[in-house]
Structure 1
């Protein structure tokens, strides 16, 4: 039976409330920590939003049990965007009520978590209550896997088709169902994500972290988030083992998660033939090698140079955004390589942000085709991805996204510079925020944070972070007149 437009919007509203109910669920461990530690202010800060959202989500869930809602592309885009915005607003309540930071800073911190951006306005994170530190970390973890992706795995209960939400949450140039049912795909990806996170936490514990630090860092590193429970970040532990483990898992987090499913199924050839994964690893190896050579005079030994170069390369490339050294004191060549990595990002279908490696691969291959076309004007050329001929519309989509990305970075740079920030710092911040990196150069280098920016810039950054996390199209299409036409 066809439902009216108003009735459908009301159903979508209730479904949105159910999505936000997930935020209430993941607040529960933080509430338990607050109770266990006797953090009175934090108990109220978590209990208040949890109680209200849980009741509304429960009522909405009961009312939708017998509904059969089919989502189109427009519904998916709108739901994903509103979920990320409202999740950021809801997630800001514990910061605002419990730690007495400003509302703007609270929303910025929350947006950083769900957008998995390693940025912060808090100078002394070690002064925060443990419950809030845990909330900060687990918010990154759920932002990494995608609130919507988790919910898609539960959609059979609601009778809702999920592929439109998956498309909206991960609108990259190449996406596929690795299993016939999208809910099974979501569950398998979530399983791989969980296993890798648990392994990382265990390795951190073996490396000398206490369980709380190991769990929190496991959440944020696997999510390509980069925030820490320590003011000095990973560098606080001063451990080559922890640095090495972090480097490996930052790289793993930046790979397409469908590859892990293929590995589990023994489909090693699919992984070896993956064009994006090969390019991603080549970019890392070449960049890390170049920086290592450049840093040997700085650190006095190849081993120390390799340790710092590989960590920072993996951190920027995977958009984790953490640092174990003040890389702004490094030679200009090493800093330049790191700066260029901010333009790249991780793989599609990963927790990393940025333009994504696959888009650079497509443009690079198309550039080669255009050069050949000059020599052979009547030739017919195509690009190959994963040893298969790529569709021509993929090239158009990548070119459009690349131009849109540059526009967003340019506009953000101009607005930030208009607030009084120097041009280089404005550009670095715009590039970092759009790509969900967090750290950068100048005013947002490893010795600084985002607290110095005026409030209206922090609001802009919060919006751009969410747009960047959803790869721009999902958000910006909502602001076009055509989106709202019947």
Structure 2
């Protein structure tokens, strides 16, 4: 392991996170009137966090400043995994330094702040804060930082890192490969830095457009930015306890739903669509939509969303949860999109829905969005590949000599990719089972009023929601509840699951393998 190279690059990440906190400072001061004492504390708390981030980052950079070696596979894995942990630690400082509180007379502890920070960076959206709308508990500037961590983590800290730095060369490709989700995600340009810049430009453009639209639809500037960060990063942090349901506007819900679908799509397809449009002679929009229309993962993604919406709408009407079709379609469609894209916004309490509806939402949590998107979950392309692999194995059971390639579109899928998909599904299943058992064992029954069946559902739901970067679950973790009641051990486990889900397991798992750190 090249420790000096590791220190230098981690130092740069620390300084990048510290510099990004500056955007939260203006929100400590209202447009009219004077800032309250608590808002002033938020301002100085963020200033302290900036100083610590820049200071620690500078120190690490100075330690490794003379090392300019090549970033190999081992270093890439270590840099990605440790960068996210380091960013999460720095990101929790504004909560601690500002004196933010979980609830009245309940100050945030270090595990609480770390949970909130990593939940933001990993775009999980799980929270321990009980009262978001009380300015005496969480300063507005800290709430903005909380949402801004979604923006940083959505497209990826390392992707931004690669976009900014010009000297990484081939090492930048190794870093991006470990962070950009999905088994078939490739750079949209031959040069990896240009790819990173393109991805971030598209991502920021969508974010700003959504913020503008939400402002025009009646949100405040503060709410518009925060919900734009949460939507495009598929994170789900809101500035209100009732989430998007607070606004009670079908237009706002429809707008956010559309952009959540956009965020759950492979961003490489947008670049290819724009490239087609510009290169075509007639500049017809049919050329723009061609890459989307021809992509099997995108088509499957839309089919699943449409099918889930129809199923939920039928269930809500037949069980008389809503009394008319437009209302049922409104809530079913928004919740299906929000859960499958792993955003986690809510417009109503879906925990009051019937059991088959909740089961469908739980299954959608595992599916997630497309590879190369900001969404979490296993990813649609892996389910497509896994279905093809299973079908081939079934055929081989009665035709053992058959030789048939696994194809996605016009591309043949290599055996290595097929093995990776199978291993990934197996690891997710193992981690899900083991974590559910462990969380159920370490959480005391008294937290669930001695109701063991309910505790089992809640703990299993918490594992699903954090491992797939959703946020809200079912039961006591529904869209109107949070994770504040979990014990210290439970929060640590769930925080680890959020990191595992966002970095697709391996960049975190290798950190616990002793031989990974040895030099041979």
- Please give the range of the TM-score, normalised by the shorter of the 2 chains: over 0.9
Q: Find the aligned partners of 2:89 and 2:476 in 1 and give their Cα distance.
A: 26
- The answer to whether 1:21 aligns with 2:54 is no
Report the counterpart of residue 274 of structure 1 in structure 2.
295
User: 2-side partners of 1:15 and 1:174: how far apart?
Assistant: 26
What's the CA shift for 1:66? 7.4
**Cα distance, 1:444 vs structure 2:** 0.8
The reply on whether 1:202 has 2:188 as its aligned counterpart is no
What TM-score does the superposition give when structure 1 sets the normalisation length? 0.94
Aligned CA RMSD, in angstroms, stands at 1.9
**2:162–2:168 contact (8 Å) kept in structure 1:** no
SS of residue in 2 equivalent to 1:178:
coil
Residue 130 of structure 2 is aligned with which of 111, 123, 132? 123
Residue of structure 1 equivalent to 2:113 = 106
Q: Say yes or no: does 1:342 pair with 2:365.
A: yes
Deviation at 1:65, TM superposition (A): 7.6
Query: Which position in structure 1 is the counterpart of 2:284?
Result: none
Distance 2:400 2:6 in 1: 52
Indicate the SS of the match to 2:237. coil
- Write the distance in 1 (CA, Å) between the matches of 2:347 and 2:11: 40
Partner residue, 1:31 = 25
Q: Does the CA contact (< 8 Å) of 1:24 and 1:54 recur in 2?
A: yes
Tell me the secondary structure at the aligned position of residue 344 of structure 2.
coil
In structure 1, the residue matched to 2:491 is 458
| Selected match of 1:380 from 399, 403, 423 | 403
Aligned equivalents of 1:73, 1:172: Cα separation in 2: 18
2:157 aligned with 1:133, yes or no? Answer: no
Which string of whole-angstrom CA distances, capped at 9 and with x for unpartnered residues, describes residues 98-148 of structure 1? 114111111110011011012101110112211011001101111111111
> Is 1:483 the counterpart of 2:516 in the alignment?
yes
User: Which position in structure 1 is the counterpart of 2:96?
Assistant: 96
Q: Give distance in 2, aligned partners of 1:58 and 1:102.
A: 27
Deviation at 1:171, TM superposition (A): 5.3
Q: Distance in 1 between matches of 2:239 and 2:400?
A: 59
In structure 1, which of residues 130, 153, 171 is the aligned counterpart of residue 163 of structure 2? 153
- Name 2:431's counterpart in structure 1: 408
Q: CA deviation at 1:22?
A: 1.3
Give the secondary-structure state (helix, strand or coil) at the position aligned to 1:399: helix
Match for residue 221 of structure 2 among 194, 211, 217 = 211
User: Are the aligned partners of 1:68 and 1:158 in contact in 2 as well (CA < 8 Å)?
Assistant: no
Instruction: Using structure 2 for the length normalisation, give the TM-score.
Output: 0.88
The 1-side partners of 2:169 and 2:424 are apart by 33
Q: Which residue of structure 2 aligns with residue 244 of structure 1?
A: 254
Q: Indicate how the Cα distance of structure 1 residues 472 and 464 shifts in structure 2: closer, same or farther if over 3 A, else same.
A: same
Q: Mark the CA change 1:240 to 1:470 in structure 2 (over 3 Å): closer, same or farther.
A: same
Give the length in aligned residue pairs.
480
Give the distance between the partners of 2:56 and 2:512, measured in 1 at CA.
28
For residue 441 of structure 1, report the CA deviation from its aligned partner.
0.8
SS state of the match for residue 381, structure 1?
Answer: coil
Q: Structure 2 CA distance, aligned partners of 1:208 and 1:34? A: 22
Q: Does the 8 A contact of 2:273 with 2:290 survive in 1? A: no
> Per-residue deviation at 1:158?
6.1
Q: Confirm or deny that 1:312 pairs with 2:335.
A: yes
Shift, 1:59, TM fit: 6.8
Cα offset for 1:234? 0.3
In structure 1, distance between residues paired with 2:15 and 2:204: 20
Counterpart in 2 of 1:283?
Answer: 304
Residue 432 to residue 464, structure 1, CA distance change in 2 (3 Å): same
How many Å separate the matches in 2 of 1:375 and 1:199?
A: 54
| Distance 1:91-1:241 versus aligned 2 partners, 3 A rule | same
> Counterparts of 1:263 and 1:396 in 2: how far apart (Å)?
31
Q: Aligned-pair distance for 1:181?
A: 0.3
Match for residue 504 of structure 2 among 444, 458, 471: 471
Counterpart secondary structure, 1:449: coil
Residues 183-220 of structure 1 show CA distances to partners (whole Å, capped at 9, x for unaligned) of 00000000110111111111111211111100110011
- Are 1:49 and 1:90, in contact at CA under 8 Å, matched by a contact in 2? yes
Q: CA deviation at 1:170?
A: 2.5
Q: Does residue 418 of structure 2 align to residue 395 of structure 1?
A: yes
SS at match of 1:351: coil
Please state whether the residue corresponding to 1:276 is helix, strand or coil: helix
Structure 2, unaligned runs of 5 or more: 101-106, 277-286, 446-454
Question: Cα distance, 1:371 vs. partner?
Answer: 2.6
CA deviations 1:266-323 (Å, max 9, x no partner) are 2643332212111111110111111112222322221111110110000110011121
| 1:83 correspondence with 2:83 | yes
Q: Give the distance between the partners of 1:171 and 1:323, measured in 2 at CA.
A: 25
* Candidates 385, 390, 395, aligned match of 1:367: 390
CA contact (8 A) 1:17 1:53 kept: no
Q: Unpaired segments of 5 or more residues in structure 1?
A: none
